[in-house]
Chains A and B, each alone.
Chain A
Amino acid sequence: MLQEAVKRHLIWIAIFLILLILPFFIGTYLQHIMIFIFFYAYLSQCWNILSGYTGQFSLGNAAFFGLGAYTSSVLFYYFNLSPWIGMFIGAFVALAIGLFIGYVSFHFGLKEAFFALATLAFAEILRIMFLNMPVMGGAQGILIPLKGDAPLLFQFDGKIPFYYISFIMMVSSTIIVYIIERSKIGYYFKAIHQNEESAEALGVNARKYKIYATGISAFLTAFGGTFYAQYFMYIDPNLTFGPSVSFDIMLRSIIGGVGTLAGPIIGSFILTPLGEITREIFGATSGIHMMAYGAILILVCLFMPRGVYPWFRQRFSKSS
């Protein structure tokens, strides 16, 4: 037992250490790819709390992402407030909106496809509102003022700091999910996912915990928004609130395995390189690489309908 535990930890420690020293051995292009793997793994892990564990399928996490990006950027742009502080304010703004969306949706008993479409609509409402707000830059978005190498303002010279920030974000979100998974609230989440009625019969206030799940997911997702804004130094409503953001976030979890701790990470480690590889193989000429990407998504659904990670788990429990 103990040996097993050590060995299990060994492989995690090995992976952890490799990733920790990796940026010094790879070029900036691969650093960028790794940053995006971590970044999406983080966002997808946040999504996983609400949609994977609690089973409330969100198509609108872009709402929280955009709020995080806009809050920190607007505060920095107008008041020169460091995004390090702004990102926490953004997280609380997203938390408030998240709790509101959760409260409204679950108070009226939205479920499944209805909840999914409602979240999509909320994100779209925010996108259109920001598009029409001149204070927020409107369609012209916000170009974050360049300050050079200013770590206190979340601006760095190279990519390595971003690499570690995104890495820490991914690891800490996974730890948070790990803790939630093993806590009382996590059991409630899973109980709600499996069968809401019986969870209620056992005395779980399903509505309350679903709202909590939305809040946690919103709060954490907002940090990703600030990271995005500081990494690209430019945001506009379509880039941050657009449906494609929500889709990109959830695809990682779905591919990897919804409601599993490793799912979002594995999904992200597959999807981001996959996009790069298809573009690499088919070249930038006609969109064949996008076709291949779409086809691969379809094939995963048909042959691994629970995601890659559970598929492997199933295979191995069978063979061993």
Chain B
Amino acid sequence: MKRYPLLKMSFTLSLVLIIGLCFIFTSSAFAAPKEVKVGLIYPVSGPLASVGKRCVNGHEYAVKLINEQGGIKSMGGAKIKLIVADSEGKPEIGMSETEKLITRENVAVVMGAWQSAVTFPTTQVAEKYKTPYIVPLAVADAITERGFKYTFRTGMTATINANLAFDIIKWLGEKTGKKAKTVAILNEDSLWGDSTAKTWEKNAGNYGLKVVGKFMYNKAATDLSPTITKMKSLKPDIVLQCAYTTDAILITKQMHEMDFNCMARIPSGGGYADPKFVKAAGKLGENLIVNMIFHPSAKGPGTKVQDTNADYQKSYEGEMDEYVTTAFDATWVLKDALERAASADRKKLRDAISKTNINTNNSPVLEAYDFKFNEKGQVPNPTGVAAQIQNGKMLAIHPDNVAVTKPVYPVPTWKDRGLR
């Protein structure tokens, strides 16, 4: 009999924990009438929290506007209610949180998850439950290549985004008559950087550009000066980059340190699109051209973008960068679909989303392209914005319909700027 109670005890302990769980899950609040529950899944804690938070802000802000303007009119003014779940950046937690959102919170639709590694399994969960899943931003091409019926992506794929960089180079050459011939690629070694760099490497020839070097690094690197020196010896005209905020700051500082000059560095969004980067880089960031998904300086029809951005900054820190905006726009796509479906029924909602046809000019969405989905659930031709830091401010320069200023190109050397 001696060991009997201790086994019981230890088992009881774990049982209590599990029963505790069950209780928490069954006692969730009853849904108030006239409410559409929307689940968000983002990394709001852990190393990626900075981005996760901004995505959530974008959704929250859009929902605030929608609810203030009377909610979903076709549903008797139903309000949208966001339920934020934390993926901690881990697929298994993303998956369990998505399960919870769908089965327990009974959300009509899920949005997320920015990281491709979390988006893959979570969209699978949503597909299984026939719950629409809108991906504002997660770049792996394969997300919309799996034949899923309930997954929709309102934003870029890595391939589309990578090719836009070449459009910018071509446009800069035509505009100023100074054509770039060689490119070097400098990318961080996660899925985004790796797949973007491979697309660049593959397609550069189509644009008459020669890749003279490809450099991959880990974003936790503490010193990149040897790599930059090596790149300097190859004398590329253009450096194409993928970086997160921390390595973007490091590289910018060290390019200055190593006196690395080229016609232009054209990084793809990410860290360079982070308003914190512009602040942290200070003078060193001047004249940098960034290939972005979106920038709030971009001219919209009328002053829509500027007004929204100004209003946003009343309640949130920082401007509407690409993370905030893609989340914001995806929420309006959802709102539009809810109006047409006039129901929070998942199947009806899915059909409504698939028939989305939003003209950017007469809708609150900020990105300058029309939202409609192809049979894969992907917006076929999302466009981006190229912006340049001029006098400490990020300003849109390309494409012409959103540009607010002319490009400074080629970018003056560190010496010409008096920084050396």
A281-299 residues with Cβ-Cβ distance < 8 A to B are 283-287, 289-290
Name the CB-closest residue of A to B142.
Answer: A143
Q: Are B21 and A273 in contact (CB under 8 A)?
A: yes
Cβ 8 A contact of A29, one of B20, B103, B124, B128: B103
- Tell me, yes or no, whether A96 is within 8 Å of chain B by CB: no
- Which chain A residues (27-56) contact chain B, with CB distance < 8 Å? 27-30, 32-33, 36
Give the nearest-CB partner of B100 in chain A.
Answer: A29
A276–B93 Cα gap in the complex (Å)?
Answer: 9
What sequence of 0s and 1s flags, for each residue 283-320 of chain A, a beta carbon within 8 Å of any chain B beta carbon?
11111011000000000000000001100110111001
User: Which residues on the B side are within 8 Å of A199 (C-beta)?
Assistant: none
> Chain B nearest CB: distance from A256 CB in Å?
9
| Interface majority SS (helix, strand, loop, mixed), chain B | helix
Do residues A139 and B84 form an inter-chain contact, with CB atoms below 8 A? no
Decide yes or no: A262 and B10 within 8 Å by CB, A284-B84, A287-B46 being known contacts.
yes
Q: Bound complex: CA of A153 vs CA of B368, how far in Å?
A: 44
Instruction: Give, as a whole number of angstroms, the nearest-CB distance from A95 to chain B.
Output: 26
Name A's interface SS. Answer: helix
Which B91-143 residues sit within 8 Å CB-CB of chain A?
91-93, 95-97, 99-100, 103-104, 117, 120-121, 124, 128, 140, 142
Q: Check if A168 is an interface residue, CB within 8 A of chain B.
A: no
Whether the pair B92, A36 counts as a contact (CB closer than 8 A) is yes
Number of A-B residue pairs having CB atoms within 8 Å of each other in the complex: 141
Least CB distance from B41 to A in Å reads 9
A266 and B10 form a contact (CB under 8 A)? yes
The answer to whether A141 touches B117 (Cβ under 8 A) is yes
Are the C-beta atoms of A4 and B1 separated by less than 8 Å? yes
| B186-194, B315-323, B331-339, B373-381: which lies at the interface | B186-194
- State whether B10 touches A308 (Cβ < 8 A): yes
Chain B residues with CB below 8 A from A143, complex form: 120, 142, 146
Check A141–B191 contact: CB distance below 8 A: yes
A274 lies within 8 A of chain B by Cβ: yes
Contact of B10 among A4, A285, A312 (CB under 8 A): A312
Given contacts A29-B103, A280-B21, 20 further A-B contacts (CB under 8 A): A8-B7, A29-B25, A30-B21, A32-B95, A131-B189, A138-B194, A141-B117, A146-B147, A232-B91, A232-B95, A234-B91, A236-B191, A269-B17, A270-B13, A273-B20, A277-B17, A284-B84, A289-B45, A290-B88, A316-B5
A-B pairs, top 4 by smallest CB distance, nearest first, are A284-B86, A287-B45, A269-B14, A139-B194
Q: Contact residues of B with A, CB < 8 Å?
A: 1-11, 13-14, 17-18, 20-22, 24-25, 44-46, 49, 84-86, 88, 91-93, 95-97, 99-100, 103-104, 117, 120-121, 124, 128, 140, 142, 146-147, 189-191, 193-195, 216
